[in-house]
Structure 1
Amino acid sequence: MGNKLKRVVIGKPMKSGELEEEKLSKMKALAVLSSDALSSVAYGTEQILIVLVTLGFAAVWYSIPISIAVLGLLTILILSYRQTIYSYPSGGGAYLVAKDNLGVGTGLIAGGSLLVDYILTVAVSSSAGTDAITSAFPSLHDHRVLVSLIMILFLTIMNLRGITESASILALPVYLFVAAIFVLIIAGLIKYVMGGIHAEVPELGTAVSNVSLFLLLKAFSSGCSALTGVEAVSNAIPNFKQPAEKNAAKTLVAMGMILGSMFIGISLLAYWYGISPTPEETVVSKIAEATFGRGVLYYLIQGVTALILFLAANTAYAAFPLLAFMLAKDKFMPHMFKVRGDRLGFSNGIIILGVLSALLVIVFHGDTENLIPLYAVGVFIPFTLSQFGMMVRWIRLKPEGWIIKLLINTIGMITTLTITLIFIFTKFSQIWMVFIFLPLVIFLFFRIHRHYMNIADELRINLESDKPEIKGSTIVIPVAGITRVVLHSISYAKSLTDNVVAVFVAFDEEEIRKMEEKWEEWNPGVRLIILRSRYRSVMRPLMKFIDTVEWKTAETDHITILIPQFITKHWWQNLLHNQTSLLIRAYLYNQKDIVIATVPYHLNR
């Protein structure tokens, strides 16, 4: 039943040889890996205005120079990450760049930040998608957490079906969103030029009282949330069709051009229309309503905006499992993240991402505004480390034209470091937990790595001197009576060795007498040892006996505890029986370096 349901949900298993068919073309990759960055258009301008309106409506004109500054930073990042793609075509982005050039510890900071950022990406995207839905349908506002969780579940299942299938589903809404935003920008621009907008807005350069550099920097850092997701292309180069690095570079540039055009367009319309952000309705919703009214086009724009905000999380689903795989390959994360699932994706990474982001939505009650600062600072840390790592690389290798490359990455590093510091100083009350959580993640990485190294040292053998030790075999069979289960186990044990002993734990003299009589009558050719238990415990006398056998025969024999176990036809029937065999096996696994085997006997009724 479970397997059939699994096949319905995620589809039939795929052969390993089909992996190349799962690679992405530029068009599909743009949909999967750019959806996060492109979707930030829906809230980037809004985050700037939320800060500026605290100074009064007259301060909204600052949104234009701030948006231009954000656009400049986007250009620097695109140029920088384009260089990273060609330098590190195996993917991994900031993690590999920082580890290769700045050391393992720095690489883990970048990798840990990105993992946290991808979890936040899913939480922010699902919450922002819910905000767009509740703007159009206010009655759903009280159920926003449930709506977000349903979105995360859908995305998790979709990605378990494979990256190509998820990309095919994503492509249409992503390009619909891009088309809808450009239609909105062009229509809004025409309406403004034709004099169809009569909003009174402050002129550029209008003096504003109480304005401070601190608040302007805070608004700028808030607007930089529109740049999250830019690094995803460089992290996921292995997902591209060949030539992977060229296709990735072209996809990155295309994403930058589309994102920059949409972001500055929305910022200009918000200023010209005199839009002020409110908790109940998004800036894009207000612009669409002012341009088209609450008609078909308005609901179409809101629909595709909600859809792209929701599907933006798919960028994380494409990048998180791949980064987790690289960390696991370097033994900093559990090896389960290296395993590909039935549909050739890294299923464990996909599932863990879905679970952690769902928990985050529940903890923050789906509040996008509270999540975005954490989301942004989580990506600007690896931004900075990546740029610095590339600077060190150019200075170390000095390839042809390295001075220009160094200059690009130096400007990128200084800019992103500045943004990171602005985030820390202006939004510390909202991001302080990053400085607790991130060191814990790094500590966990090192503990996992130490564990794997210790295991490798302990299990390593000398191929010249370490040879298998030939011993005899002693098999101990715990029995609870004389049944077909015991018969089946003894038959198997005697096929391996003649040195077999059965052990029975009795609670009173009458039980001992009956068991001795029945065993003598049956006479299976195996010696029966009866242990007395005054305190009605099976485990304690049995363990003492095993200790005795182990002490006497460990040097000459391999000791095997052969545990008979019947398997019921239906799972619920297990609840009707005690699970002594499971307890014995669990105890021995944790306490003894001996062979533990189970002989199953399947019941038919």
Structure 2
Amino acid sequence: MVEKLKRLLIGRPMKSTALAEEKLTKLKALAVLSSDALSSVAYGTEQILIVLMTVGFAALWYSIPISIAVLGLLLILILSYRQTIYTYPSGGGAYIVAKENLGLPFGLVAGGSLLVDYILTVAVSASAGTDAITSAFPALHDHRVLVAVLIIALLTLLNLRGVTESASILAIPVYLFVIAIIFLIISGLYQLATGAVPISGPRYGVPVGGISLFLLLKAFSSGCSALTGVEAVSNAIPNFKAPAEKNAAKTLMLMGGILGALFIGISLLAYWYGISPNPKETVVSQLAASTFGRGIIYYLIQAVTAAILFLAANTAFSAFPLLAFMLAKDKFMPRMFMVRGDRLGFSNGIIVLGVFSALLIVIFNGDTENLIPLYAVGVFIPFTLSQGGMMKRWVSNRPAGWLLPFLVNTVGMLTTLSIALIFIITKFSQIWIVFLFLPLVIFIFQKINQHYQDIADELRIDIYREKPEIKGSIVVIPVAGITRVVSSSIGYAKSLTDNVVAVYIGFDEESIERMESRWEEWNPGVRLIVLRSRYRSIIKPLVKFIDTVEWKAAETDHVTVLIPQFITKKWWHNILHNQTSLLIRAYLFKRRDVRIATFPYHLQK
């Protein structure tokens, strides 16, 4: 039943040879890996306006120069990550760049930041998408957490079906969103040009009382949330069809062009329309309503906006498992993240990402505004480390023409570092948890790595000197009577060794005498040891006997306890059987010199 449901939801297993077919074309990769960056168009401008509105409506004109500054940073990041793609075509992005050039500690900081950021990406995208839905259907506002969690579950399931299949499905809403926003911008500009909608924004360039450099920097850092997701292409280069690095670089440049055009278009439109932030209606919703009214076009724009915000999470579903794979390969995360699932994706990474992001939604009650600062600061740390790592590489290697890329990375590093510091200073009350959580993640990385190193040292052998130790074997079989399962267990044990002992624990003389009499009549060719238990305990007499056998056989024999276990036909029958065997196994499990084996007996009824 479970297997049939799994096949229905995920699909049939794929052969390992089909991995090459799972690589992405540029158009599909743009949809999957750019959805996070493109989705920020829906809330990037809004984050700037929220900060400026604390001073008053007249301050909203500052959103234009701030948006232009964000575009300048976008250009720097696109050029910088293009260099990273060609320098590190195996992927890994900031983690690999920082580890190889700045050292392992910086690499772990970058990797940990990105892992946390991808979890936040899913949470922010789901909560922002829910906001778009509740803007159109206010009745759903009280159920936004449930809506967001259900969407995360759907995306997790979709990604478990495989990269290519999810990309084919997700490409449609992503490109519909791009077309819809372009149509909204062009229509809005036409309405303004023809006078159908009057320019309602505050007068541009007029000084505003109460404005400060601190506030402008805070607004700029908030607007930089529109740049999250830019690094995803450099992390996921292995997902591209060959030549992977060229296709990844072209995808990155195309993404940057589309993102820049949409972001500045929405910012200009919001300023000219005089849009101010509303906690119950997004900026895009207000623009669409002002341009088209609340008709079918409005609802179509809201639908594709909600879709892209939800699907922005898919960027993380593509990049998180790959980064987790690289960290696991370096023994900083559990090895389960290196295992490909039935559909050739790193299923464990996908599932873990879905679970943690859903937990964040529940903890923060689906509040996008509280999540975005955490989300943004988490990505600017690896931005900075990546640029710094590339600077070190250019200076160390000095290839032909290295000076220009060095200058690009230097500007990028200084800019992203400045923004990270601005976030820390201006929004410390919202992002302080990062400084607790990130060190904890690094500590866990180091503990995992130390464990793997210790295990490797302990298990390593000298193949030229060390040979397997050959001993005899004593098999101890706990029995409760004379049954088919006991007969089968003895038959199996005697096929391994002649040194087999059956142990019966009796609570009274009558049951002991009856067992001894019947065993003598049966005569299976195995000695029966009878133990008396005055306090009706099975575990203590059995363990005491095993201790005696173990002490006598320590030098010459292995001691194996063979525990018969019923395999029931129906799942609920398990409740009626095997309780004693489970207790024995649990008690003996930690015994260093006792081996535990299970003899399964399949019941027919």
TM-score normalised by length of structure 1: 0.99
**2:121 aligns to what?**
121
- Higher mean C-alpha deviation, range 581-590 or range 291-300: 581-590
Q: Distance in 1 between matches of 2:327 and 2:6?
A: 28
| Structure 1 residue ranges (4+ consecutive) displaced by more than 4 angstroms after TM superposition | none
Paired residue secondary structure (1:276): coil
Equivalent residues of 2:566, 2:578 under 8 A apart: no
Paired residue secondary structure (1:600): strand
Residues 46-65 of structure 1 aligned to structure 2 (within 5 Å): 46-65=46-65
- Higher mean C-alpha deviation, range 463-472 or range 263-272: 463-472
Paired residue secondary structure (1:54): coil
Residues 367-516 of structure 1 aligned to structure 2 (within 5 Å): 367-516=367-516
Which ranges of structure 2 fall in alignment gaps of 5 or more residues?
A: none
Q: After TM superposition, give the deviation of residue 63 of structure 1 in Å.
A: 0.0
Instruction: Report the AA paired with residue 348 of structure 2.
Output: N
- Higher mean C-alpha deviation, range 482-491 or range 554-563: 554-563
Indicate the RMSD between aligned Cα atoms, in angstroms.
0.8
Equivalent residues of 2:550, 2:593 under 8 A apart: no
**1:13 aligns to what?**
13
Q: Distance in 1 between matches of 2:462 and 2:587?
A: 31
**2:109 aligns to what?**
109
Q: Distance in 2 between matches of 1:596 and 1:87?
A: 52
**1:156 aligns to what?**
156
Q: After TM superposition, give the deviation of residue 592 of structure 1 in Å.
A: 2.7
Paired residue secondary structure (2:593): coil
Q: Distance in 2 between matches of 1:515 and 1:106?
A: 69
Instruction: Report the AA paired with residue 485 of structure 2.
Output: V
Q: After TM superposition, give the deviation of residue 587 of structure 1 in Å.
A: 2.5
For each residue in 1:182-227, what CA deviation from the matched residue of structure 2 results, as whole angstroms up to 9, or x when unmatched?
Answer: 0001111111111122243222211100111111000000000000
Paired residue secondary structure (1:502): strand
Q: Distance in 1 between matches of 2:560 and 2:371?
A: 55
Equivalent residues of 2:192, 2:199 under 8 A apart: no
Residues 288-367 of structure 1 aligned to structure 2 (within 5 Å): 288-367=288-367
**2:201 aligns to what?**
201
Q: Distance in 1 between matches of 2:370 and 2:14?
A: 41
For each residue in 1:441-472, what CA deviation from the matched residue of structure 2 results, as whole angstroms up to 9, or x when unmatched?
Answer: 00000000000000000000011110012221
Paired residue secondary structure (1:55): coil
Paired residue secondary structure (2:505): strand
Instruction: Report the AA paired with residue 527 of structure 1.
Output: R
Residues 221-300 of structure 1 aligned to structure 2 (within 5 Å): 221-300=221-300
Q: Distance in 2 between matches of 1:405 and 1:177?
A: 34
Q: After TM superposition, give the deviation of residue 396 of structure 1 in Å.
A: 0.8
Equivalent residues of 2:559, 2:593 under 8 A apart: no
**1:32 aligns to what?**
32
**2:214 aligns to what?**
214
- Higher mean C-alpha deviation, range 509-518 or range 487-496: 509-518
**2:563 aligns to what?**
563
Identity of aligned residues (%): 76
Q: After TM superposition, give the deviation of residue 594 of structure 1 in Å.
A: 3.1
Q: After TM superposition, give the deviation of residue 102 of structure 1 in Å.
A: 0.9
**1:577 aligns to what?**
577
- Higher mean C-alpha deviation, range 514-523 or range 409-418: 514-523
Q: Distance in 2 between matches of 1:466 and 1:127?
A: 58
Q: After TM superposition, give the deviation of residue 568 of structure 1 in Å.
A: 1.2
Q: After TM superposition, give the deviation of residue 590 of structure 1 in Å.
A: 2.0
Q: After TM superposition, give the deviation of residue 473 of structure 1 in Å.
A: 1.4
Is 1:85 equivalent to 2:76 in the alignment?
no
Q: Distance in 1 between matches of 2:161 and 2:578?
A: 40
Q: Distance in 1 between matches of 2:513 and 2:592?
A: 32
Q: After TM superposition, give the deviation of residue 168 of structure 1 in Å.
A: 0.2
For each residue in 1:455-509, what CA deviation from the matched residue of structure 2 results, as whole angstroms up to 9, or x when unmatched?
Answer: 0000000111100122211111111111111001000011111110011122222
Q: Distance in 1 between matches of 2:482 and 2:206?
A: 96
For each residue in 1:362-417, what CA deviation from the matched residue of structure 2 results, as whole angstroms up to 9, or x when unmatched?
Answer: 00000000000000001000000000011011111111111111100000000000
Equivalent residues of 2:135, 2:285 under 8 A apart: yes
Instruction: Report the AA paired with residue 141 of structure 1.
Output: H
Instruction: Report the AA paired with residue 2 of structure 1.
Output: V
Paired residue secondary structure (1:562): strand
For each residue in 1:103-132, what CA deviation from the matched residue of structure 2 results, as whole angstroms up to 9, or x when unmatched?
Answer: 111100000000000000000000000000
Q: After TM superposition, give the deviation of residue 324 of structure 1 in Å.
A: 0.3
Paired residue secondary structure (1:590): coil
Q: Distance in 1 between matches of 2:285 and 2:9?
A: 35
Q: After TM superposition, give the deviation of residue 557 of structure 1 in Å.
A: 1.2
**1:42 aligns to what?**
42
Q: After TM superposition, give the deviation of residue 530 of structure 1 in Å.
A: 1.2
